[in-house]
Structure 1
Amino acid sequence: MAIITLMVRRNPNLMKKTKKKQKYSNISVIEMTKSCFETALLKKPSPKNLTLEDDNGGGTNSSSWVKSILLGRGAYGSVYLGRSKTRQTGERAIKTAELSHASSLMDEGRILIPLQSPFIVRCYGEEIAREERNSMQYNLILEYCSGKTIADLIEDNHGELLESEAKVFARDVLSGLTYIHDRNIVHCDIKPDNLLLSPTDVRFRFTGYLTTIGDFGLAMEKGSLEYGDGYGHKRGTTRYMAPKLIGDGFVDFGADVWAFGCTVLEMLSGKTVWGEYGDLGFDDWVNLIGHSDRMPHVSAWLSEDALDFLSRCLERGIDKRWSSHSLKNHPFVLL
């Protein structure tokens, strides 16, 4: 899958060599107390207020949504900006695929629909509808995050973000990770392109944005039949894959923590993780990340807290790598 402003990554990078990192605002104002901030976040609308069946109740006639702007295309479908034909719901992102090719998108919907966190992209439901040329389409109705992505923010800033900003974004992502990990879900593709930004009042976030985790197209549920014993799943964007994931195909929560560490490193440095190696073929990525003792380059000029935080995320030993819960208590991200 691929992502744009909402749920599609810009490139279908699964098990392919990653294209060069697209260059990815400095905003500063005031901090607010944690209690006020959390109260504001919880005002997000709940998906239970929306049903997606057509007027006949079957969900297989014309779509309940009008699609307008194409936001992006991925390996398993496309994303459009959309509005409800019958309800005043505001803009949504409609992730869509032909029904005969929608199994991956359906799996994403199955994982996303029950999730309700301000730090996870909201899924409002699904529908099967007959659309143009009489084709049957599966539509996943998603929150539209109009603030682009962390990757875009880095590009717009022409390099690294302020450490004070990176801390806020990192804290948001950790909140999302702990939420899904508590529900036995491994995202499997954390990276700047999949961290979506929603503009918010600077009274609540001095950065002006709330960060949500998007694109669950590769996510897995531990304990499921598909997950099995966790082995045999080399999935994700190669550059961000953890050593044991890319080397042995082992999926666990630590894979998300490693990818998150790579993402924070990019926010702080403004440089693509492993960028000094250029664009490699998949086997070369396996050898570099999975079977060597090399580590992503971390600049020594970062603060002591930042350096220690990154070392806890980017630990090759899976048993030594900190969990998302432990990282939330690290001085780097504490208010």
Structure 2
Amino acid sequence: MILLTQSSDTTVQKSSTAVTHDGEKSVLSSSSWVKTQLLGRGAYASVYLATSKSHKHKTERAIKSAELSRASSLMDERRILIRLQSPFILRCYGDEIALEENDPLHIQYNLILEYCSGQCIADLIEDNHGRLFESDVKLFARDVLSGLSYIHDRNIIHCDIKPDNLLLCPTDHRFRPNGYLTKIGDFGLAMEKGSIEYGNGYGHRRGTTRYMAPELMSHGIVDFGVDVWALGCSVLEMLTGESVWGEYGDLGSADWVNLIGYTGFTPHIPNWLSEEAQDFLSRCLERDVLKRWSSHSLTNHPFAML
């Protein structure tokens, strides 16, 4: 994963207070959550299943945690997520700055998130030992498109759509035949069009290499189309059970840039897939970003419709 983060401007004082991301002093205490299980570890943060200390009914949340001095990307993620209210976006319940119980010399920044007990689509592919049923993939794709359309309407580009970041929340089979609602998570690399950070949209090569769009890989151009390309890569993996670009093996950084950014190639779409699936993928995996369909257009594609 290519991570571009700003250095944290958060100051930590050597007493029981710290300056928060809002610039206000906060008295530090231990977390109001008990971390019960490590769910995953990334470059800058770890994610835990946690149970509340204070609630009468023990509430479970996912806590994304990092040392305060290295938490700028988590704070950026919080600023975006806290504004989003969609059933197809992982919900953010706020944040806290707390002393680490087992190591009081360390101050943690905790982002409090909805917990999706169904894991993620990457896990589902692995557990299934290969491709998923097309009927299930259609439901997953429709959910993700609903989430993408929602954030794109709010000028937010996710920049890291992939099966690992598509989370599964168990739900009643009456509402989803496969028993899951798919939610987009991990907004750590997300950008907002019109922001100072976004600028003119150039020079922002970010994301997970294998899922990056040609214009993103070659010129660092970030726009809504990069999410659509990454969705196409993700749907292709769901349908085939194989890593996108997997036929090229393990490549070095320069080879990835050349393959995706400059060769003119697109990920291989097998002809044994249904015509609907092939056409949907071709609309997502269009190298010319001006011809690539938008998330809104794709919601009306037969593959993504009931």
Partner of residue 215 from structure 2, selected from 238, 244, 257 = 244
- Residue number in structure 2 paired with 1:66: 34
Runs of 4+ in 1 over 3 A off after TM superposition: none
Distance 1:275 1:59, change over 3 A: farther
CA deviation string 1:240-296 (max 9, x = no partner): 000000110011000000000011111111111100001111111110000111110
- Residue number in structure 1 paired with 2:87: 118
Across the aligned residues of Structure 1 and Structure 2, the Cα RMSD in angstroms comes to 1.5
Relative to its length, the structure with more strand (as a share) is 2
Q: Distance in 1 between matches of 2:283 and 2:165?
A: 22
Partner of 2:287: helix, strand, or coil? Answer: coil
Amino acid at match of 1:229: N
Partner of residue 290 from structure 1, selected from 261, 280, 287 = 261
| TM-aligned CA deviation for residue 60 of structure 1 | 2.6
Partner of 1:229: helix, strand, or coil? Answer: coil
| TM-aligned CA deviation for residue 175 of structure 1 | 0.4
Partner of 2:28: helix, strand, or coil? Answer: coil
Distance 1:263 1:223, change over 3 A: same
Partner of residue 102 from structure 1, selected from 71, 74, 86 = 71
Higher relative contact order (CA 8 A, sep 6+): 1
Map of 1:318-333 to 2, 5 A cutoff?
Answer: 318-333=289-304
TM-score, structure 2 normalization? 0.90
- Residue number in structure 2 paired with 1:32: none
Map of 1:192-203 to 2, 5 A cutoff?
Answer: 192-203=163-174
Q: Distance in 1 between matches of 2:148 and 2:27?
A: 33
| TM-aligned CA deviation for residue 131 of structure 1 | 2.2
Percent of aligned pairs sharing the same letter: 73
Amino acid at match of 1:216: F
Partner of 1:325: helix, strand, or coil? Answer: helix
Amino acid at match of 1:172: D
Partner of residue 268 from structure 1, selected from 239, 259, 262 = 239
Q: Distance in 2 between matches of 1:249 and 1:59?
A: 41
Q: Distance in 1 between matches of 2:244 and 2:282?
A: 14
Q: Distance in 1 between matches of 2:45 and 2:303?
A: 38
| TM-aligned CA deviation for residue 59 of structure 1 | 5.8
Amino acid at match of 1:304: E
Q: Distance in 2 between matches of 1:73 and 1:151?
A: 15
- Residue number in structure 2 paired with 1:139: 110
2:19 maps to 1:14: no
Distance 1:59 1:223, change over 3 A: farther
Q: Distance in 2 between matches of 1:216 and 1:227?
A: 15
Partner of residue 218 from structure 1, selected from 180, 189, 192 = 189
Amino acid at match of 1:14: I
Partner of residue 93 from structure 1, selected from 62, 85, 100 = 62
| TM-aligned CA deviation for residue 62 of structure 1 | 2.0
Partner of residue 276 from structure 2, selected from 291, 305, 310 = 305
- Residue number in structure 1 paired with 2:177: 206
Q: Distance in 2 between matches of 1:222 and 1:202?
A: 37
2:205 maps to 1:234: yes
- Residue number in structure 2 paired with 1:82: 50
Q: Distance in 1 between matches of 2:156 and 2:250?
A: 30
TM-score, structure 1 normalization? 0.82
Q: Distance in 2 between matches of 1:223 and 1:137?
A: 31
Q: Distance in 2 between matches of 1:164 and 1:196?
A: 18
2:177 maps to 1:189: no
Q: Distance in 1 between matches of 2:52 and 2:166?
A: 25
Amino acid at match of 2:95: E
Q: Distance in 2 between matches of 1:98 and 1:111?
A: 20
Structure 2: segments with no counterpart, 5+ residues: 4-24
Amino acid at match of 2:83: P
CA deviation string 1:114-157 (max 9, x = no partner): 11111011110011112232222111000111101111111122
Distance 1:89 1:185, change over 3 A: farther
Q: Distance in 2 between matches of 1:282 and 1:125?
A: 36
